[in-house]
Amino acid sequence: MQAFFTGIERRLIKARLASADPAALIRKGQKWLLPAFRRAARSSPAYRTLLAEAGVNPAEIRTVEDFVSRCPVLDKANTFRRFPLAELICEDIRPQALASILTSSGHGGNGFAFGLSTWEQQSGAARLIDIGLDMAFDVGNRRTLLINCLPMGVTFPSNLVCVANVSVREDMACAIVDKAGPLFEQIVLCGDPLFLKKLCDYSQDIGLDWKRFRVHVILGEETFPETFRDYLAGVLGIDPDDPESGLIGSSMGVGELGLNLFNETRETVALRRACCRDPGLSRKLTGVDRAVSPAPTFMVFNPLRTFVEVVKPDAHGIGELVVTVMDGQAPIPLMRYATGDRMQFIDRAVVESTGLALPPFPIVALHGRDKDRLPEGGHVDLFKEALYRDPAIARSLTGAHFLQRVEEGWVWKVQQNAFGEASPSETSDRLSACLPTTLAEKMRLRIEVAGRDAKDFSNSLDYERKFLYLRDPARGVDFFYNQKTALCEKEKNTQ
């Protein structure tokens, strides 16, 4: 009986959100902002300290404008690196109330941040996840198998779908698809782009026929170009331009804030693909030249849960992403938290003028991490785009690649896999043809094709950690992402 009423509630929420007015959602959501701030100011010792240092009297924060203009921006450095967890956690949360701890990726090299949840929050997590899965994949009406390929520690509680937590084991994932897939009406793969590239290549090696199944994909951890979406789609039998086919969509989360803060929808995927076909549309929407940066990832967010700001915007409105999750039960309330990403708000009227469909939530454009921009004006994602432009070349590579500054310019190192039959020089020439010529010339770029066991990759690619695509010692970036190697490099430099 409880499941019956839960299903009714889920369908009602889904219907209301599907027909919602984004501006009305934003206004309604802002009513939760000040209560969340007051709880943080009252109950978090660390936040009280930060407010006092910024000269902010919580009693004087009476409006959203007050909050935005006067409250300090938080980040990992001034919270998790500075304070012990006991001072970050709200005083109304007892240790025995904590049910789970999730770390950030540690990708920035400055230690970890932590996302804590209580037993009470965890009891409602499946409900929220199921609403999202139902809106994206209609899991309430289709028997669904979700294969979670995210590294161990990230799980999906659900009351609607069957979940297989396989972590980064492509053999386990493919075995489950082959043997258990026929029991379900659809399969949802969840993982990061690099590992799903490995999974897709392995599935081709063993002859797994994906076309037997209706397949969707949720991608997280990093941004990816449309050429990568096309590569996955070609392997999995998906047509990204057909609304009746499977959906390959990205989800953006931050470990200390939440696993799904922003996500693509069918409408935003169609918008991005339209921008790739028409650079003029991309400039009209974002002001960005496609020769300098790939089309951003267009995403939506739920303003009833998340207050989103773009601070220090440039002339095009692109600035630093700052997020406040308005959860009155959060053990660690992070007010105005900077994620390190670059984002801009998208004018719905401009999208509407193109004749494209609009999602029922506010639209933003994610331009990736600030540190992934190149000094010469390009962006690391241009190289991801080039790597997957030729599917045959992409099939011969692992997908792992990085840019490294050298004395004479830059080196783009790519890694060949066991399937690769082309010579390194042929692979290099074909990749070069896929890159913007002016950017390659400006960077004084040369391409190196490394073998499967090359140290540059074996030390940094384990699919458990985020891969470092830009290695520039002039900007203080460690040569290897693997933390043990990075630590050895730092110790060597101090001797």
pLDDT tens-digit readout, 45-66: 999 999 999 999 999 999 999 9
Task: Return d(Cα 394, Cα 425) in angstroms, integer.
Answer: 15
Sign of CA dihedral 350, 352, 356, 362: positive
Closest CA to 245 of 216, 209, 268, 225: 216
Global pTM reads 0.90
Quote the CA–CA distance of 102 and 123 in Å, as a whole number. 16
Split at pLDDT 50, 70, 90, the class of 106 is: low
Helices (H), 19-70: 22-30, 33-43, 45-53, 64-70
pLDDT value at 75 more than 50: yes
* Both structure tokens of 481: 């992402």
What domains sit in the chain, N to C, each tagged with a CATH number? 381-494 (3.30.300)
Angle (CA) 288-290-294 rounded to 5° is 95
Tell me what pLDDT residue 452 has.
77
Distance CA 355, CA 323 (A): 31
The pLDDT > 90 percentage for the chain reads 62
Please say if the pLDDT value at position 316 is more than 50.
yes
* Residues 168-226: tens digit of each pLDDT: 999 999 999 999 999 999 999 999 999 999 999 999 999 999 999 999 999 988 889 99
- CA–CA dist 241, 371 (Å, integer): 32
Q: Looking at residue 292, what is its pLDDT?
A: 66
What value does the mean pLDDT take over residues 161-165?
95
**Using CA atoms, how far apart are residues 79 and 113, in angstroms rounded to an integer?**
9
Reading the block at residue 398, the tokens are 């692992």
Joined tokens for residue 56: 């902010």
Please give the Cα distance from 95 to 118 (Å, whole number): 9
Amino acid in the structure at residue 222:
E
Q: What is the pLDDT of residues 6-46, one digit of tens each?
A: 566 556 666 666 667 888 999 999 999 999 999 999 999 99
The two beta strands, 445-450 and 409-416, are parallel
Count how many Cα atoms sit within 13 Å of the Cα of residue 418 in the half-sphere of its side chain: 5
Pairing of strands 144-148, 186-191: parallel
pLDDT higher than 60, residue 254 = yes
Q: Which tens digits make up the pLDDT trace of 396-426?
A: 999 999 999 998 889 999 998 876 677 888 8
